[in-house]
Structure 1
Amino acid sequence: MADEWDGELRLIVRNLGDTINVYVQLNDRLVRNANAYYGLLDVNEPTLLFTLDLDKNIAGVFPLIAHFSGEIYAQKYDNIKSIWFDLPPGDFEPPTDHSSALAFLKTHLPGGFVQDPAYGLGFTKELRPIIYAVEKIEKVTRIAIGGKDPTRHEHSTFYFSDLDFFNLRMAFNRTTRKHQQESLIERTILAHNNVLHKVYPEHHALREPPYRPGTIYKLVGGEEASSTVLKGKDRTALLKTVVGNATAIADRDPKEFVQLQKDLELVSLDRLINSFQKSMAKNHNEGHWQKMLELNPFILSMVFGYPIVMVQSAASVGGGTIAGNGTKIADFLSQNSSSHNAALVEIKTPQTPVCGSTYRGGVWKPSNALMGAVVQVLDQRHKLTLTLPLHKQFSPQLSELQAYAIDCVIVVGKMPTDPSQISSFEMMRSQFKDVRIVTFDELFGKLLLLREMLTGERYVSPIEDDEQGEPDYLYQTDLDEDEDDPEFAAGED
């Protein structure tokens, strides 16, 4: 009887023959306070909590909000209104009152269900992701658990087979226990560091969480690891880990190791190509290009046609030491890695013209800048030939360097677009037997060719997107950031 109710939560059983409905009426004070706080009507009507269909031998719960809220008594989940399960086989005593209804919940609800009506029934917190997943299926409002039929979706109901639901629940439990154990380890380490280490650091070293196999695989997305973008310290830590395990990776996973090398080289090459292309479009000084080639000496190897070793950038070829103050400064001093023969490189900029004024009849003179660079590198070669024995005395690392026939290379300008200028330029540079002249766009073409040989596909420049409005800083490199450094511009004549 309502007038005998003392205001505590109660379950009201209504027997309709083959159907038994059990209603819940929440704590009167809780509901009254919630209604008053949220400006709702002062009512506390019993609401259907669960039902038993004795004819079909199934039961269903209707999860609801039972805590202090403006939606008290409303359904707990966004779309799922009820969860159904099989009743135990054979005869059992159906609930008839508050006490037997509570006993039914404790005895016959499947594992993974909330048994206390004060929490509104439904799945436990650990199994709540199941609700989130099912609710992503459009128009599903019921979950049914039971039987041997396969897990499936039909109309407004999502069906779990008994075995599938049991296995999923066990997997959830294992995950929960695992994280509880990991949490205990981390809390123990935190206590150690903030109590023992903090007070007695000389006796109790700082502790770090132990590494667990599979951690990196999970953190970087498992099978989707290739699309994971790492940031900050994570990138540095991963690189150090790969380097530290390089030998083990090569021994145990040789295919993956080779692919890793190839992928890293390709990423590095793409970054260099992108930076090179962007730099050609800007008015960078010679120091910028000198630094780029210093960081990527293999580019010069493609020019010489044989592997080189960088000996010194901004090298003094006329002073007492190869790195000291001298009368002649070469942008690069390098050597053939096999014969140790010396090679000199003079760097200009892509904006340096290679053709000067017309002479007559469509014939073009070489530019003053180009001819000056030719004379300059030849003079440097002459000085180095005379002074190399002296350099070796002061620089033991140069003991293998030889001046048999010093190679000279000038990297300058861009290939002209006018056919008559191209003709004059090609005829002119082909006549220099001791100096090789290469334009920046030819050097860029060698990089593209190298990439095509490695990948079998053509390079697609992202700069076209940049011209349509993509932020320029996406292609900035460390080279651009250093241009204000006074040491950076030291390579400019």
Structure 2
Amino acid sequence: MAAARPINLKQEKLESQLMDEIWEGEPRLLVQQQGATTDYLLELSPQLRRAAARLRDDGVEPVPTRLFTIDHSNRRIAIYPLITYLSGRLYMPKYERIESIWIDSNFIDDRPTTSIDAVGFLDTYLPSGFIKEIGYGLGLTNEMKPLIQAVEKVSGINGLYLTKQGKTGRNGNFFHIVDQDFSNIRSMFNRITRIHQRESLKERNFLAHNEVLHRALPEEFPEKVRAYEPGTIFKLIGGTNAATTVLKGADRVALLEAVKGNAPSIAKRDPKEFVQLQKDIELVSLDGMIEAFERKLGHNRNELEWQRLFEVNPFILSMIFGYPVVVVQASASVGGGTLSGVGTKIADFLSKNSSTYNAALVEIKRPGTPILGAEYRTGVWAPSRELMGAVVQVLDQRQKFVTNIASIKQSSRVYDLEAYSVDCVLVAGRTPRTPEEAASFELIRSQFKDVRVVTFDDLLGKLILLREMLSGERYVSTVDPAEYETELDEGEFDDDGPNGEDRHEQ
């Protein structure tokens, strides 16, 4: 397909100014007869060509260019799809690699000699699936564009040939498609388009009802919900290839919720399918996520990588809080301004309870962040400087958020967000290995009434527990134990950026 034009504000402004100067008349064809072939050149208005010249680097005005050819002796038509909109690329090929499309035809050899006759010829003899208006530069219709895109993936191809004989495939620098194959493809494309148009109409009807009638008169017009149609899930997750489909993020959560809601009836009517569904879909996705979690844990990945993992798998946050949450904004400004704009304080995640809309803040540190400091007395450890600093940091974020919530909601257009009792969660460090250290850690975090401290081992344990509950089998890690040991480097716990600034403040 044609390469997308880069955004150029100066050019866009110039194009807007030039549009008023463009002649509104119809394009026409110039006829050049050469023996057994006749070429038809597209002539656009002089105003349009002069305007295009001012957009070109060389300033040269484009001249009428061949749009199509009639090969009288071989009864075939060749079209050369062109760009016809105001652009510095006026008259250049419409597609990235396909320069011409040849079509075997049974036209009557009346040799059109005028522009009007030539336009009539195209309208009569170009097959369905082709643009027939010369002002649009010919070529395939929008519905058929994927065919061009597919053919252009074949190396060395610069032309397409619709043939009445032979077979579909490469032929030199042309890709041949037999008429019947082209007709079948066009029919399937059209059928897909009609299906999506019907689905789009249904969705628009639902939207119009819910957003207009239900919103204005909820008692008279109850909210409409799309009814489940059998076969929908089968098609969406790959049909007969469903076992090889890897679901991600919210899709995994939605599937788990659907199975959970239908579990009693599925287990009763189709117990074997229920077990198979658990193993082939849920466990494949969950095992992959647990493995990725373990590898990141072993390599002490930085905060941004963990943030991306939680964004892709938001249900992990729900496991942290113990209630369903919705991520409102990652890297959210909570100290004024908009959620995604420049502010004074940045929280890794701003979430909310999906039922009450109560806000929650999540701060993420590295797995290697020390959570215990020096041994204060025999068998008793004090909290680390890093842990205490992180706790104060998230409390400071909460204070700024509560103070500025009104302006945040107004400027960011997020109105279903409340600060009744903002939950604060700090994800940091690893669970201590010795009983004495673990005891000190539990005593420390139990005293933080406003901040819930969760280690990365806690999260991994929740994922593994979920996996074991779904499978009924004990989880065995596939990660090499050597990868699981975190190596700590001096200074790696700092939140400072490359220039010494705090990454949570802007």
TM-score band by shorter chain is 0.5 to 0.7
Q: Residues 210 and 40 from structure 1, CA distance in 2 versus in 1: closer, same or farther, beyond 3 angstroms?
A: farther
Hey, what's the Cα distance between the residues in 2 that align with 1:268 and 1:152? 42
Counterpart of 1:118 (choices 132, 135, 139) is 135
Show the counterpart of 1:179. Answer: 196
Show the counterpart of 2:37. Answer: 19
Show the counterpart of 1:158. Answer: 175
Contact 1:18 1:53 in 2 (8 A): yes
2:89 matches 1:71: yes
Hey, what's the Cα distance between the residues in 1 that align with 2:287 and 2:235? 29
Q: Residues 128 and 77 from structure 1, CA distance in 2 versus in 1: closer, same or farther, beyond 3 angstroms?
A: same
Helix, strand or coil at the partner of 1:245: helix
2:232 matches 1:215: yes
Counterpart of 1:194 (choices 187, 211, 215) is 211
Counterpart of 1:109 (choices 126, 133, 136) is 126
Show the counterpart of 1:304. Answer: none
Counterpart of 1:58 (choices 72, 76, 84) is 76
Contact 1:25 1:47 in 2 (8 A): yes
Cα deviation, 1:348-370, whole Å, max 9, x if unaligned, reads xxxxxxxxxxxxxxxxxxxx9xx
> For residues 4-403 of structure 1, what are the structure 2 equivalents within 5 Å?
8-88=26-106, 91-222=108-239, 223=241, 226-232=244-250, 234-246=251-263, 249-250=266-267, 255-263=272-280, 264=282
Give TM-score scaled by structure 2 length: 0.52
Hey, what's the Cα distance between the residues in 2 that align with 1:8 and 1:270? 60
Contact 2:77 2:102 in 1 (8 A): yes
Helix, strand or coil at the partner of 2:249: coil
Cα deviation, 1:5-49, whole Å, max 9, x if unaligned, reads 997511011111211111111122122112224455353422010
Helix, strand or coil at the partner of 1:69: coil
> Residue type of the partner of 2:217?
Y
Hey, what's the Cα distance between the residues in 1 that align with 2:154 and 2:484? 40
> Residue type of the partner of 1:240?
E
Contact 1:63 1:77 in 2 (8 A): yes
Counterpart of 1:460 (choices 478, 482, 485) is 478
Q: Residues 212 and 28 from structure 1, CA distance in 2 versus in 1: closer, same or farther, beyond 3 angstroms?
A: farther
Which sections of structure 2, spanning at least 5 residues, go unmatched? Answer: 1-22, 301-318, 320-378, 380-432, 436-464, 489-506
Q: Residues 271 and 40 from structure 1, CA distance in 2 versus in 1: closer, same or farther, beyond 3 angstroms?
A: closer
Q: Residues 227 and 114 from structure 1, CA distance in 2 versus in 1: closer, same or farther, beyond 3 angstroms?
A: same
> Residue type of the partner of 2:185?
L
> Deviation at 1:228?
2.9
Q: Residues 265 and 17 from structure 1, CA distance in 2 versus in 1: closer, same or farther, beyond 3 angstroms?
A: closer
Helix, strand or coil at the partner of 1:22: strand
> Deviation at 1:226?
4.0
Percent of matched pairs sharing the same residue: 39
> Residue type of the partner of 1:54?
H
Contact 1:94 1:104 in 2 (8 A): no
Contact 1:278 1:463 in 2 (8 A): no
Q: Residues 103 and 123 from structure 1, CA distance in 2 versus in 1: closer, same or farther, beyond 3 angstroms?
A: same
Contact 2:295 2:484 in 1 (8 A): no
Give TM-score scaled by structure 1 length: 0.53
> Residue type of the partner of 1:145?
L
Matched residues, number = 305
